[in-house]
Structure 1
Amino acid sequence: MSPARRAALPPGPVLVTGATGGVGVPLVLQLAKRGHHLVLSGRDRARLDQLSEQVRERGGSAVVRPADLRDATQVQQLVEQVLAADGVPAAVISLAGHSIHRPLADSLDRPHDLERLTGTNLLGPARLILGLLGPMGERGSGVVIAVTSATARIPNPGWAAYGASKAGLDAWLRAIRPEAARTGVRIAIIELPLVATAMAAPTYGSAPRGALSPEQAAALVLRALDRPLTLVSPAWARTGAVLSQAVPALAAHTTGIAGAWVTRLSRREVRR
């Protein structure tokens, strides 16, 4: 999309969480080429510093704000630092996430998996967004983009903890979206399908067949930033969400079989 056709953003930085992740890096570098001032957040300070240098090489500017979204205190400090030092964000792009693939039999003594994933995928992003929505609403403009998952609304055996945490964020954002819109803040949800990142590699291999590249996934996020969209999701995911509500038992059974089949077909390693 040409710059003239992009949706105009208000003054302010673009905050990206999970900035050093598989989708975060190409997204940040594309934003840098556009000249945005970026606030980069993640857990690894050294990697954030390296990324900020790449941003400057491409004509953008960036500051680094490390934070672990599982830590409520760190999230609150991140909110305070951004508002005090960087200003009210023009856009908040929530990419940070964590996944675990584990069948029920292996999960019976691991309730902490739910705690870990909920902290990263639901509670942390929600705390961050809540802390910034007020100032953005007072200004009367802004965009919040959150990446969930194409399977967030389709129960998938083996991905129970991951799906629950992503579905929780998805449902929460859908519920607050109309009220945020009345203050001038648009909330967009990106339900990504499989992406060939390090997070997916333990289950699908380092080069899964049929997966989006990180660059393709980043392009979907940019699409939501540039256009007045509230949802970017594959057609099969929207259809699956309807079926999972209409025939839940059959849908869950079918999804489990299909998921195992897709995993076997998708798994592929890079040949060296």
Structure 2
Amino acid sequence: MLSALSRARFDGRLHHVSSVAVAGDYADTFTEAMFQEGQDLPHAYHRSKFESEKLVRESKVDYRIYRPSSVVGDSKTGAMDRIDGVYYSFGAIKKLAYALPGWVRLPVPRIRGRFNLVPVDYVADAMVHIAFSDTDARVFHLVDPKPPPFVKMADMFVAAAGGPRLGPAVDIAKMPGAKKTGALMSMPPSVRELRDAFVSDLGLPTQGLGAMNIKVRLEDGNTQAALAGSGISCPPLRTYAKTLYRYYEDHLDPMKQRPARYRRELGGKVVLVTGASRGIGLATAHMAAEAGAEVLLVARDAAKLEAVAQEIRAAGGRAHAHATDLSSFDAIDALADAVLAQYGGVDVLIHNAARSIRRPISASLDRFHDYERTMALNYFAPVRLTLRLLPSLRERGGTISHVLTMGVLMPAPYFAAYLATKGALDAFGDSLMAELQHEGIHVSSVYLPLVKTEMMAPVEEYAGRSDVMTPRRAATMILDGVVDRRRRVMTGMGAYFAFSNRVMPATTSRILNLLERAFPLDDTPSEFPLEKAFITNAIGGSPV
């Protein structure tokens, strides 16, 4: 553009939008008069903004340069066109708010510095006003003149999400051995890999953190002078933080854009789903096919399986039926051979098929075969199929999804045979990730609550339950784990039980023991009829 303006003998004024990123890693007050101050430019974004502003400065045209800080949405409406900057942290904030209630005080590390945010409406209004003003100044910082401390800023957004209050701040640097540990931890490549994994777990871009500079202080004297008397000023973050977060939740949250995410990650992939003839497996197969995946349907009933395949094809999807008795190791081997021969392998392996038994341990003294049959289908079958398909999954950087149950997270009565198999599969997945994560293999463990399927139909006490999940909602949890490569997927209630069982195991088991005595399986009278009536009225049936 500068070359074109030069050839055209342009004699007007060029208005160039730069960024405070030109300050790079500068750790003091950076004024509007400053540019090349010996600062390092550690991130590509810093370098691109610095070089573009340098070209403008070295040109012969008259110019005004505007340097906004990190731009966020409109302070009045929250409107924003994309996820960028501080918005990358909102996913982690949402997880935190989901896990801990607002009355909790959460200690955090003391972080000295401020991250300057500025709403887009202030930037636009200020630029228009300054562009037509008579000022002789040429560079203007469009920033928050009084940004809150970093931890306070984070606390505002966490509060907006309904999460815990952040604080007190703990000065980790003053803890014994902190400096020596910090020096050691900065050396090995393994630490960087661990850091990247941690950042990725929070949903943050590993490369984007390098663009943050919380130590620089930004002076905006030229801007304040030019805006004097205009009524234009940067509003305090506390007045619009909730507005920004609400807009994110309603319009930008990736969870609201599942179809596009699923198509992007599953389109053209080979996805194998066991237990695909009904319930959760059926819903998962349909959803994966809708996203453009080639779905391999596995279940025992050939007629039902072919009907599902025809439904998917009629809707424009691709599906292939592979009737298999997963309780037979020979049948599993034949399935694996067919999959490898016909498709070359799979990209996603979803272990959903399972058998459930609801029976007290004391009533199973002569029914050891229940444990054997349940373990054969729920644990040995998925392990054998995984081992047979693992080489192809390693080649493709594939994902293995274990459809588990929330009961694994707590000491639930009546389901010992079933929960032991799911717990074993969960542990197998943990070991698999620990061994092969560096190769790109991913294992997603999905802890489902009670789901309205044929499996729960025989239990009369569950018939009126109002809190059961639909198969399609369960399918979204499974595919979220696959598409977003989430290690563990659970509901808020699941997270609560996992936390409770870790922190207060004796109390948690006592609570479940009381529920077992309130809701006995046989004709034994309830020990707590009042509590039983209250709970039944609340959820419509037995909680165990």
Match of 1:165 among 421, 431, 444: 421
Could you tell me which amino acid in structure 2 is paired with residue 50 of structure 1?
Answer: A
Q: Tell me the equivalent position of 1:184.
A: 440
AA in 2 matched with 1:182: H
Which of 262, 271, 281 matches 1:24? Answer: 281
1:38–1:63 Cα contact (<8 Å) kept: yes
Q: Give the total of aligned pairs.
A: 267
Whether 1:35 and 2:309 are equivalent positions in the alignment is no
Shift of 1:207: 5.3
Query: In structure 2, which of residues 339, 348, 352 is the aligned counterpart of residue 95 of structure 1?
Result: 352
Q: 1:180 to 1:245 in 2, by over 3 A?
A: same
> 1:157-182, CA deviations, whole angstroms, 9 ceiling, x for partnerless residues?
21111111111111111121122322
Give the Å deviation of 1:10: 8.5
Q: Given the superposition, is the C-alpha separation of residues 192 and 263 from structure 1 closer, same or farther in structure 2, using an over 3 Å criterion? A: farther
Aligned to 1:105: 362
Match in the other structure for 1:150? 406
What's the CA shift for 1:136?
1.5
> Which 5+ residue runs of structure 2 have no aligned equivalent?
1-256, 520-531
- RMSD (Å) for aligned C-alpha atoms: 2.2
Q: How far 1:53 moved relative to its partner?
A: 0.2
How has the CA–CA distance of structure 1 residues 243 and 2 changed in structure 2, closer, same or farther, with 3 Å as cutoff? closer
Contact 2:268 2:292 in 1 (8 A): no
Structure 2 residue identity aligned to 1:231? R
Which deviates more, 72-81 or 5-14? 5-14
Q: Supply the distance in 2 between the matched residues of 1:20 and 1:122 (Cα, whole angstroms).
A: 20
Give the Cα separation in 2 of the matches to 1:176 and 1:161: 23
Deviations 1:112-164 (A, max 9, x none): 11111111111111111121112211x24111111010111322121111111
Question: How far did 1:75 drift?
Answer: 1.1
Query: Unaligned stretches of 5+ in structure 1?
Result: none
Contact 2:266 2:288 in 1 (8 A): no
**Rg larger for:** 2
| CA 1:11–1:5: 2 relative to 1, 3 Å | closer
2:492 is matched with which residue: 230, 235, 246? 235
Q: 1:4 deviation in Å?
A: 5.1
Percent identical across equivalent pairs? 31
Of 204-213 and 20-29, more deviation after overlay is shown by 204-213
Counterpart-to-counterpart distance in 2, 1:71 and 1:2: 36
Q: 1:69-112 deviations in whole A, cap 9, x for unaligned? A: 22111111111111111221111111101111001232111011
Within 5 Å, which residues of 2 pair with 1:1-272? Answer: 1=257, 5-6=261-262, 8-9=265-266, 12-137=269-394, 139-203=395-459, 204-206=461-463, 208-258=465-515, 260=519, 265-267=539-541
Contact kept? 2:451, 2:471, Cα under 8 Å: yes
TM normalised by structure 2 equals: 0.46
Following superposition, the deviation at residue 183 of structure 1 comes to 1.8
Report deviation, 1:235. 3.1
The answer to which structure, 1 or 2, has the higher relative contact order (CA under 8 A, 6+ apart) is: 1
When normalised by structure 1's length, the TM-score is 0.89
| Distance verdict in 2 for CA 1:159–1:216, change over 3 Å | same
Q: 1:234, 1:28 → 2: CA distance? A: 21
> SS state of the match for residue 69, structure 1?
coil
